[in-house]
Structure 1
């Protein structure tokens, strides 16, 4: 999965690039008009290509009615904007999924679990870009605890569409040293 520009990955071509630029504008200042040349640059789409896509967005009610060549005015309160904005930043959903899957697969819970790598940084653009699970197993881990970790890695890989790699540490201090500024700690909460 492309976590850097997920809308463009899910909606390829002109429409995805245009939606990405419009969501960015909606987030920054939904009430101000957006000049076509500015939108064209932000979306890397020619004005001629934009008009067809903008027409369709107008039919959906995401933008106000307009004539060809006019600036784009968003309909800020349209219910789809929040959903689209959530798709542009999936980091929170990755964290929530990791929490849910950890509860489902790791018994007892690890002493420490954090997420690191290109997926959590939001820079992943290819399915080979990784999410690292930095884990300190519980001190009294049962013999089958590693099976739960393998199941967690498999489930997370499927859920994300990216490679998930576990990295073991012997202590919380060692685990924290493995991370970076963008590392997100899951456990302890």
Structure 2
């Protein structure tokens, strides 16, 4: 999965880049922009913009406009709100990993952190990885590691990326420099039973 540019990955070419630029502009609080600004932020030449803008206007995503006029985003349109979640998949990813771990692992791990290109939002394709750092429960029942491997396979299917893991026996704890200071660099805590 392309986490860095998911809209462009789903809708390749000029359309995806234009929708991404418009969605980011709206998310930053903008409702109005010029054709030149949109061409620059989407890396699409001005001559390609009009056809895409016309289609977006027909869908109600843009306010009515004449060819060559500045663009006014219909900021309250439901589709823009849906695209907000697609622009930043991080919260959904963290919740998916957490929910699946709590559902699939009994007992739950004492700690679960994620790292890698998928976790930090830079993944651009299926060969980019999500790495799980898992601290096993104090008592590991038979089959728990098999359940963990099934969780990893399920997440790989959910994401379309490679998912790897390692199991530790000690919970990485907060260091003198604050929360997560002793955890591996770039690791985001998803579940910590000791906090």
- In structure 1, how many angstroms separate the alpha carbons of the residues matched to 2:69 and 2:184? 48
Quick check: 1:21 aligned with 2:21?
A: yes
- In structure 1, how many angstroms separate the alpha carbons of the residues matched to 2:79 and 2:191? 30
State the 1:29 CA deviation: 2.2
Matches within 5 A, 1:1-189: 1-31=1-31, 33-173=32-172, 177-181=182-186, 183-188=188-193
Equivalent position SS for 2:33:
coil
State the 1:28 CA deviation: 1.2
Higher helix share: 1
- Number of aligned pairs? 188
- In structure 2, how many angstroms separate the alpha carbons of the residues matched to 1:26 and 1:36? 15
- In structure 2, how many angstroms separate the alpha carbons of the residues matched to 1:45 and 1:184? 38
Q: Any conservation in 1 of the 2:113–2:187 contact (CA below 8 Å)?
A: no
- Give unmatched runs, 5+ long, in structure 1: none
- In structure 2, how many angstroms separate the alpha carbons of the residues matched to 1:84 and 1:180? 30
Equivalent position SS for 1:23:
helix
What do the CA deviations read for 1:71-91 (whole angstroms, capped 9, x no partner)? 100011111111011111111
State the 1:156 CA deviation: 0.4
What do the CA deviations read for 1:31-60 (whole angstroms, capped 9, x no partner)? 3x2011110011011111110000000000
- What is the RMSD of the two structures over their aligned residues, measured on CA atoms? 1.6
- In structure 2, how many angstroms separate the alpha carbons of the residues matched to 1:187 and 1:152? 17
- Give unmatched runs, 5+ long, in structure 2: 175-179
Equivalent position SS for 1:179:
coil
Normalising by structure 2, report the TM-score.
0.91
State the 1:187 CA deviation: 2.6
Normalising by structure 1, report the TM-score.
0.94
State the 1:30 CA deviation: 3.1
